[in-house]
Chains A and B, each alone.
Chain A
Amino acid sequence: MRAFLIVLSLMLFSASSAAAQDPTPTTVPEMWNSWCARCHGKDGTGKLPDRPVTVEPMDFTQCSLTTPEGDSDWEAVISHGGPAAGLSSQMPGFGDFLKPEQVSEFVSFIRGFCKEKGWPTGNLNLPRPMFAEKAFPENEFILAPVVSHKPDEPVGVAFASIYERRIGKRAQLEAVFPIESVDPGEERNSGVGDVEVGLKFALTPSVSNHLFTVGFDVSMPTGSESKGLGGGQFVFEPYLATATTIGSQTYLQTQFKLELPENESWRDHAFVYNIYLGRDLKLSPSTFTFGFEINGENEEVAVTPQLRKGLSRTGALAGAVGVRLPINHRDEQGVTWVGYLLWEYLEPVRSRR
């Protein structure tokens, strides 16, 4: 109502000059056609022969570009301009003019250029926990160092390279290549550990604040069992991963997994759980995220406080550190320092636009 009155009064004040001009747009579609379409095109493709900006705008009809990020990123760009999310400064901010609900309406309008159904909402693309598998399919490359120490045992060191590739709307392939250095008692052995490959599939892409994903990982006996670098057999690992938003900056991510070794009976399976609660310090891709994870295998319980930070303004680079502290079975679990450095490798393509 207030916006309407402002617009009405401005129209009255400038009636003489406005008489020869187009009426001031009042609805989001009208504003899009009058203002945004100059660079982004009425169809949202940004493909214009004479657009005034030098950067190529993102093609909003490409669902793979418009769905992976959360509403807060879009709202920041609409309100404060492109640099708010690491994009071009040629995108101006409209936050002084638009009310917050109009900004939200713009986000819905822009997302509407993606006509395909079945793409999970970017609001559930949550910061990666240290242990729980993300429910949201990603395009990321991750380097993850792990330093573990058990009482009366030498320190073990592992370094995993993880490649994740989204397939279509809802699936993701994953490959984990670990390098390990362990000392099982007599001498330190270093080499390749057990390589893992996995596939996951989002089950509930149309739900706005929950995402359920099923996945299946296979750990292969590529590491030397005799040197303590591998398990010596295939392990099949079906799991369920979930993502849930609690407000705009807090979220819950869980993973429940069975580990089924190839040469052991069903009764010898392990049940692994990871329950993560995280909170962003602010609505920005480069914000700090504080997380707390409860995890363990079977009756084991451990807690993993962790801190994550977006290292670029787009959030395409991020790093995290944490420490897994055993609550019970302390000797068997030991203390494990964990971290990761991730690169969302398709993000630079998005950033240029």
Chain B
Amino acid sequence: MRVGGSIIGVVKTKATPNAPIRASIDPKICGESVPDESVIVDAAGSLANVMVTVPGVKATQPAEAMFTNEKCRFVPHVALMRPGGMVKMTSKDATLHTMHAAAADGKAFFNVSLPIPNFSLSRPVDKAGVATLSCSTHTWMRAYLGVTDELTATSAADGKFRLDGVPAGTYQLRVWHEALKIAAAPKVVVKDGETVTIELVLTK
């Protein structure tokens, strides 16, 4: 029998996406408006960019996270990385972008400039937690970096996520989203060789 089990699930919400944000500068590069990516939800109410963590279960996250500044947006919007990993960043825009990475308490990890297209940089982030990435010149730009050595998955565009290799046991999952919240941390019981299916519902 396979040791450990899996948790698969989907994240749902009744929240609706926000209206696009008017780009206050660089309309030639950014467009007149940029999408508000704080709530990415499809027609079925499936919510993307939700981090679901199994507390206490160690897992190897990527050693680096790559972000691109593209039309005054960070791509991707949410990524995962291990503590001590490298944040790699590049810009495709012919304007001054910066990447300002800050911990949840607001303390900056770094703020570096990406002043010309195709210019790339990397910086380490050591502290576990969700780091907020922003741009000092384009104030609407946001991305989030989950820095963790715990088993974590991010919900895809269809709201689905999957966590494999969960040791048998009972867990209270940790759920993070930049704008929405879950009423109570979901409790799951995992058995060896079995897959638990759950649905998470987030609200404003």
B139 touches A89 (CB 8 A): no
Of A18-26, A154-162, A183-191, A210-218, the segment with at least 4 beta carbons within 8 Å of chain B is: A18-26
The size of the chain A interface, using a CB distance under 8 A, is 29
A18 touches B28 (CB 8 A): no
Instruction: List chain A residues, Cβ under 8 A from B113.
Output: 35, 92-94, 96-97
B115 touches A97 (CB 8 A): yes
A18 touches B25 (CB 8 A): no
B90 to chain A, nearest CB (A): 12
A14 touches B94 (CB 8 A): yes
Report which of A24, A31, A91 forms a contact with B94, defined as CB distance below 8 A: A24
Label chain B's interface by main secondary structure.
loop
In the complex, A327 has a CB within 8 A of chain B: no
Q: How large is the interface on B (under 10, 10 to 19, 20 to 34, 35 or more residues)?
A: 20 to 34
A3 to chain B, nearest CB (A): 11
Would you give the 0/1 interface string for A19-46, flagging 1 where the beta carbon is closer than 8 Å to chain B? 0111010000001001100110000000
Question: With A22-B94, A35-B96, A53-B136 in contact, do A93 and B118 touch (Cβ < 8 Å)?
Answer: no
Alpha-carbon distance between A282 and B108 when the two chains are bound, in angstroms? 23
Question: With A52-B138, A90-B100 in contact, do A7 and B116 touch (Cβ < 8 Å)?
Answer: yes
B136 touches A92 (CB 8 A): yes
In the complex, A296 has a CB within 8 A of chain B: no
Interface residues of A in 36-95 (CB under 8 A from B): 38-39, 50, 52-53, 81-83, 89-94
A290 to chain B, nearest CB (A): 31
B30 to chain A, nearest CB (A): 11
Instruction: List chain A residues, Cβ under 8 A from B100.
Output: 89-90, 92
Among residues of B, the one whose C-beta sits closest to the C-beta of A81 is B111
In the complex, B124 has a CB within 8 A of chain A: no
A24 touches B116 (CB 8 A): yes
In the complex, A346 has a CB within 8 A of chain B: no
Instruction: List chain A residues, Cβ under 8 A from B137.
Output: 35, 38-39, 52
Q: List 6 A-B contacts (CB under 8 A).
A: A17-B117, A21-B94, A34-B115, A53-B136, A81-B112, A92-B136
Which A residues fall within an 8 A CB radius of B? 7, 10, 13-14, 17-18, 20-22, 24, 31, 34-35, 38-39, 50, 52-53, 81-83, 89-94, 96-97
Beyond A93-B112, A96-B121, list 15 extra A-B contacts (CB 8 Å).
A10-B117, A10-B118, A18-B94, A35-B137, A39-B136, A52-B136, A53-B136, A81-B111, A89-B111, A90-B136, A91-B136, A92-B136, A94-B113, A96-B113, A97-B115
